[in-house]
Structure 1
Amino acid sequence: MTKAPVTPFAAAGIGVVVLMALLAAWGIAGTPASVRGGLPAAGAPPAPASTATVPFTLERGASAGDVGRRLEELGVIRSARQFEMLARLMGVQGLLSAGDYLLPGRASALSVIQLLTVREAVPVLRVTFPEGLRIEEMAVIAEQAGFGPRDEFLAAAARARLPAGLAEYLPEGATLQGYLFPDTYIMPVGSTMDDLVAYMIRTLDERFTPELRAAAAARGLNPHQALTLASIVEREAVIPEERPLIAGVFYNRLAAGDRLGADPTVQFAVAQDPASVRQYGWWKKELTIIDLENPSPYNTRLFPGLPPGPIACPGLASIEAVARPAATDYYYFVADAKKGDGSHVFAVTFAEHERNIALYGAP
C-alpha cells in the first residue's frame, strides 16, 4: 500500500533544501572516500541508474542509519554513511515515510531520500507467503493481495517454466509444487499472476544457491529431490533449531532404505481427494488408519525413500537444513505433546522411541 507524504515541506521547499544538502555534501570532498560513499567528483556525470527495481519496505520508526544500511545491503545506494549524513543535513532523518517502495536498482543517496520523504511514485501491491504452503494456498493469498483471481495464480503456475539448473531435474508431468519461493513480494499495481509466479521462481533460483545445490548433491540429492525433502522438513519442523536435526533423521532413514514415515506426506496424499479437501482442508489434522494406508506414492508411511516431489513450498532455512543436516544417530522423533510448543523428542532406538511416545506423545 502506497503511503501518503510524511513531510512538512512543500515541493518548492524540498528543492531548496535538497540543493543546500547537495552543496554541503560536495563541500566535504576532502573527507575520506568511505564517508563520501562515491559522491561524483565536481564536473563528473552521475552514474547511470539501473533499469531494474528493488522492492523495499521502510519500517515505521526506522532510523536514517538503519534505512541506509539496509539500502546499501540491497545495492540501491553505495554508502549508508552518505545516506545518513545527507538525511541529517536535510533535516529529514525523522521524516522518512514508512511504506512499501520500488526503488531504482542503483541510485544516488540524494534521489532515494527524495523518494522516501515525499512519496513513492509507483503504487504497489504487497503479498507475503509463509513457508510450507501448497501452491493452492498461495493462490488464495495472492488473490487477497489484489493480484487477481486465485484460478489465475494456479494457471500461471501451471504454464510457468523453470530456469536452467532446475528445469532439467523436474520429472516429466510434475507440477511446480515446491518451486515458488515463500517470501514478501512488492510489485507495481497492474502486475499479473504470471509476473508474480515468475518473480517467485526467480527468487528460488537465487536463494537456492549453487553452493546449496552442491552441498545437497554431495549427499546424493539433485535439486528436485532436495526441494522434496526440504518441503517435508518444512512441514515437520516448528522450532527453527530442529530443522537440521530432523533433516539428519530423514537422511539416516534414506541411507537405510527405510520409510521416512512423515505424516505431512500422508496429509498431502489424502488431499489428492477433493472431497477430503472440502471437508478437512489441505492438511487434515486427525489422520485415520485408512488415511495411513492411502496407496498414493506420496505416502511415506507406506513407501520407502522420497515421494515423487515436494508436498509444499519450503523456505530457505529448510533448504539449508537439507543441504547441511546435523550429524546425528537419531532415527526417530515424536512431537512433545506435553510442551505443546511444536518441539520434538528424539531417539536412537525403537525402544527409546516407544518410551518417548508413552511419555510425551499425549498431553
Structure 2
Amino acid sequence: MASNKVKQIHDFGQSIWLDFIDRKIINTGELKKLVEEDGVRGVTSNPAIFEKAISSSSDYDADISELSKGDKTNEEIFFGLAVSDIKLACDLLRPVYDEEVVGADGYVSLEVSPFLALDTEGTIKQALELWKAVDKPNVMIKIPGTEPGLPAIQKAISEGLNINVTLLFGLDRYEAVTEAYISGLEERAEKGLPIDKISSVASFFLSRIDVLVDPMLDEKGLGELKGEVAIASAKKAYEIYKRVFSTDRWKKLADKGAVPQRLLWASTSSKNPAFKDTKYVEALIGPDTVDTIPLETLEAYRDHGDPASRLEDDLDTATEILEKIKAAGIDIDAVTKQLEEEGIDKFNKPFEKLLQAIEDQKSKVN
C-alpha cells in the first residue's frame, strides 16, 4: 500500500496543520487519527470556524447555559468555550510538540477578537489574557498583521508568547511582520529572558488573492496568468524569509536559541472550480514552511495529491508574473489593502453571528 500522501509532505520539510476545530473532532478521536495517520502537526482556528462549530451543533449548549449564569458578556462566554476546546486540542497535540526538536510543531492557534484588528492596546491585553487562560506551551495566539497589529505582535513576542500572525496578503507587510518578530525577540533577549521556546508563524493568505486579481487579468488580456499571482507572491515571500533569517542580526538571536518565524500558507482551498482542488497545496511544498488546510482539502490531497518540493521552482517566473501585472496597471498594493479590509470584515461578520447564536441559546435556557 502506498504511504499516505498527506504524510509524505512532511518528508519535504513542510508541516501540515488542520484549519478546523470543533468538539466533535476532538471527542470522537478523529483529530487523534488525523495526527497519527495523516501526520497532521498542528491546528488553526478562526472566528468563522468557531461560528460553524457552535451554531451547527448542540455540543456547546450545556456550557453556554452554565457560563451564562453569571454576568459574563457573550464574548466572554465564547472565549470560555473556545479556551476549553483549545486546551483539549493542545493536550492532544502535545506529543507532536514534545518530539525530537521540542516546539517545532504541535501548536493550536486561538485568535483574538476580530473586533480588535485595528486596536493595538486591546489586542495586546487580550493576547496576554488568552495566553494565560489556555496556559499551555503549545498554544499560539493569532494576531492580525494589520498596521496596528505590528506593535502588538512585537510586544507579545517580547512577553514570551507564541504568535500566529494572520491575514497577510502583501510582501511589504510580511517583511514588516518579520521585523516585529525579530525586534520582539531582541527586546526580550536584552532583558536576559529566554527566547529559545518562542515560536511564530506568518500566515500568508493565498487563494483570496487570485479570486480578486483573476477577473482583472482577464480584462488586461493576461488570462493565462489566472491562478498564478498568489503562488508567485508566496514564492517571493519565501525569498524574503530566506534573506531575513540569514542575516548577522538574526544569527545573534539564533545563537541564543531563537528559531525563524516560519511562513504559513493559509486559504489554500481552491475557490475556482476550474482549478485542481489541491492546486495551492501542491505548488508550495517546501522546507521550513507550514500549510494549514481545511478538512475537505486534506481529504482531497490524501486521495489524489502529488507530493514534491516545488516552492523554489521557477522563481524567475514568479518575479516575471508580478512584473507583468504591474506593467499592465494592476496595483498589487491596492489589491492587498482591499483584501486585508475584506478579511477583517470576513471575520467580523461570523463573529457577530456567533455572539448572536450565544444570545439565542441563552434566551432558550433562561
Q: TM-score range by the shorter chain?
A: under 0.3
TM-score, with normalisation over the residues of structure 1?
0.25
Question: Whose radius of gyration is greater, 1 or 2?
Answer: 1
More helix by share: 2
